[in-house]
Amino acid sequence: MFLTISTTGTQERPATDLGFLLHKHPDKAQAFSTSYGTAHVLYPEAGPERCTAALLLEVDAVALVRRGKGKGRGGAPDAALAQYVNDRPYAASSLLAVALSGVFSSAMRGVCDARPDRAAEPLPLRIEVPALPARGGAALVRALFEPLGWTVTADPVPLDAEFPQWGDSRYVRLVLESRALTLAAALRHLYVLLPVLDDAKHYWVSSDEVDKLLRAGEGWLSDHPEQHLITSRYLSRRWSLTRQARERLELVRLAETDDSEVEAIDNAVASETEEAERPTPLAVLRREAILAALGESGAARVLDLGCGQGQLVQALLKDVRFTEIVGVDVSMRALTIASRRLKLDRMGERQAARVKLFQGSLAYTDNRLAGYDAAVLSEVIEHLDLPRLPALEYAVFGAARPRTVVVTTPNVEYNVRWESLPAGHVRHGDHRFEWTRAEFQRWSGAVAARYGYGVGFRPVGPDDPEVGPPTQMAVFALDTAVSGTTQNIAKEERTA
Ligand code: SAH
């Protein structure tokens, strides 16, 4: 297993600086023992104009198998014969990536005390891997490296040079060239993409692999067009790890996204929901109706449960009657967008003291939700599977128990009035159900009775004589006669 890294230079900026960047002296051949064999670093050429470092990994295939690490994907042992006659010693693979990170760890982090300026700047690089196992072929090799700024040559290696009629092996001879990358970036690309192309990780993938992947992927993986394939293969297709990695990469991407893009996301979302129709979008009418109901209830401390991207929180913040506003959502992505919309990081201290966002699921009771005047569930209940709904009912009406609860949900009867909505379809792909007015009123009545609330209903949007309004709203008020003295005192204080 063999890989070379070359650079070019001048008398003033000699190519041999590569030795400083790699923390390996060009005049010495060095050997390092790794868990799979011995890694050698040597310099076939080292002059001011041209310098090449070679990393050669001598793998002990038998030791590899004996150590129990010669397992195929998913940890299942390969067939006995395959274990001894495997290609690990000969082909660049995930083992080479492991050696790379072991032997060049400082270089990978971009650390170079001797030549700090050179470590931070791009340099002319040529990397060659004579035999790279590439599941997906030369086309995938290009799709992985080209978006990162590499010029890629990937020549398929014939199965047997003397018998071209046997066709190509699954190996390519890879040459990468670039003048735009730092050495650290180049090494991090290889560290991730060699095992991705090999697609046969030799060791059991554990959850710290996600951290390793994100560290090595910093600055390039979050917007790589093949990000899905890379995360999935790197993490040996372990779904929970892959999902974790993608969620974290998405946060990285959002953090790098500027506000105009957040607005663009909003606009796209708005135009997806046909509710963005003129003159006044239904979403705006809904917020106005909710603000009115909250105002009438006299609430000052308000929960926005399933706050999504924070539009209602933003409207509540503009109204001084609301002294404390808490947005809760299960989606980190939504919360990240909400916090950027609200500009939480740039907010003055007094405003910031009024608002809080946190992640939580409404399907579980949560002490942090107790003690508020009012809670809003705006277009949220229909996102829960019906069997999960009683859990939310208990968490909100039974445990958190605010004096007022405002719930909105689509009125399915109105769907025939949406011109662009095909018959029988719900308004949003994630809606698990949409109710008629009778169904919503039946549910609300039952919840109110079970938890000691009174409930009234209001239309939101044009109230069609036949099919009713597009959005239906229920306003629950804690029935103080039923629920005991504390609430009575609170109510008396309020009316006094
Ligand atoms: N209230 C906002 C967003 C509605 S979309 C508005 O009116 O525009 C529904 C939101 O509920 C989504 O942001 C979704 O992430 C959130 N949600 C769905 N199930 C949830 C759960 N179990 N716990 C908390 N939030 C949930």
Query: Ligand 1 within 6 A of 361 CB?
Result: yes
Task: Please provide the DSSP assignment of 267-303 as one string.
Answer: HHHHHHSGGG-SSS-HHHHHHHHHHHHHHHHT--EEE
Distance between CA atoms of 406 and 390, rounded to whole angstroms? 17
Mean pLDDT over each residue of the chain, to the nearest integer:
84
Ligand 1 pocket, mutate which of 302, 329, 365, 426 (most atoms under 8 A from CB): 329
Query: What pLDDT was estimated at residue 259?
Result: 53
Ligand 1 atom closest to the Cα of residue 388 is 22
Note every long-range contact of 235-238, with CB atoms under 8 Å and residues 24 or more positions apart, other chains counting.
235/205, 235/209, 235/210, 236/73, 236/74, 236/201, 236/205, 237/73, 237/74, 238/205
Domain boundaries, the chain: 2-204, 259-269+278-495
pLDDT digits (tens, 9 = 90+) for 215-269: 999 889 988 999 999 998 888 777 778 887 887 787 777 666 555 555 555 555 5
Q: What is 259-269+278-495's CATH number?
A: 3.40.50.150
Query: Ligand 1 within 6 A of 383 CB?
Result: yes
Query: Ligand 1 within 6 A of 379 CB?
Result: yes
Helix (H) or strand (E) holding 229: helix 227-234
Using the mean position of ligand 1's atoms as its centre, give its distance from the Cα of residue 376 in Å.
Answer: 11
Q: In sequence order, what are the residues at sequence separation of 6 or more whose Cβ sits closer than 8 angstroms to the Cβ of residue 61?
A: 70, 84, 86, 88, 89
Question: Which fold is adopted by the domain 2-204?
Answer: c-terminal autoproteolytic domain of nucleoporin nup98 (3.30.1610)
Query: What pLDDT was estimated at residue 203?
Result: 53
- Per DSSP, what are the bridge partners of residue 305? 328
Closest CA to 275 of 378, 415, 383, 439: 415
pLDDT digits (tens, 9 = 90+) for 252-261: 776 665 555 5
Query: Ligand 1 within 6 A of 275 CB?
Result: no
Query: Ligand 1 within 6 A of 329 CB?
Result: yes
Ligand 1 pocket, mutate which of 330, 332, 381 (most atoms under 8 A from CB): 330
pLDDT digits (tens, 9 = 90+) for 314-332: 999 999 999 999 999 988 8
pTM reported for the whole predicted model: 0.50
